[in-house]
Amino acid sequence: MADPVDPPFADASVAAIYAAYPPELRARLLDLRRLIFETADATPGVGALVETLKWGQPSYLTPSGSGSTIRIDQVKRDDARYALFVHCQTDLVATYRALYSDELRFEGTRSIVFERDAPLPRAALGHCIALALTYHSRKRRA
C-alpha cells in the first residue's frame, strides 16, 4: 500500500481491508482513520483504541469502556461515498443532527455520509467522533 499509514496497522486483516479499497477512497478512509485516532488521543478518558474488523468493516473500540464502537467503510455499492457508522440504538446520530445538520449528511440512525471528492469537515466530525468515544462515560454521569 503506497499511502502513508499513521498510526501503523496492528492487525494485518484490517490492513488488508484498506488495501482492497480503490486508491482515492482508500486515501479518504485513511484520513478519517487518522482523525479517529487523533481525536481519541486528544479526548480525556478515552485511552488507547483497538482497531479491528466488525462485519468486515474497520472498527474502533474503546477498551476503557468510555465509548460506542465506530465503524468506517464505503457506502454499499457506491465507491464515491463513504461513511462513519455508530450503533443505531444510541442517540448519537440524533445528537449529530441537532448540532451539525447544516454541515454533515446523515443516513438513518447510524451514519454520517461523505462524498469522496469533498473535504472532510474536520472540526464538526472531530466533535462527533469525540461524542461517540465518550458515549458510555457521558451516559453514566447523566
- What digits encode the pLDDT tens for the residues 95-106? 999 999 999 999
Model confidence at 3: pLDDT above 70? no
Residues in contact with 20: Cβ distance below 8 Å, sequence separation at least 6, in sequence order:
none
Q: What is the per-residue pLDDT for 2?
A: 46
User: pLDDT per residue over 7-23, tens digit each?
Assistant: 999 999 999 999 999 99
Q: What is the per-residue pLDDT for 4?
A: 55
Q: What is the per-residue pLDDT for 142?
A: 66
Q: What is the percent of the chain where pLDDT is above 70?
A: 96
Contact 72, 85 (CB under 8 A): yes
Which of the following CATH numbers is that of domain 12-141: 3.30.1330.60, 3.40.640.10, 3.90.1150.200, 3.40.50.800? 3.90.1150.200
Q: What is the per-residue pLDDT for 77?
A: 86
Model confidence at 83: pLDDT above 50? yes
Model confidence at 1: pLDDT above 60? no
Q: What is the per-residue pLDDT for 39?
A: 97
- Where along the chain do its domains lie? 12-141
Q: What is the per-residue pLDDT for 112?
A: 98
Q: How far is Cα 85 from Cα 95, in angstroms, rounded to an integer?
A: 14
Contact 12, 103 (CB under 8 A): no
Q: What is the per-residue pLDDT for 141?
A: 76
The one-letter amino acid at 113: V
pLDDT band at 131 (very low <50, low <70, confident <90, very high): very high
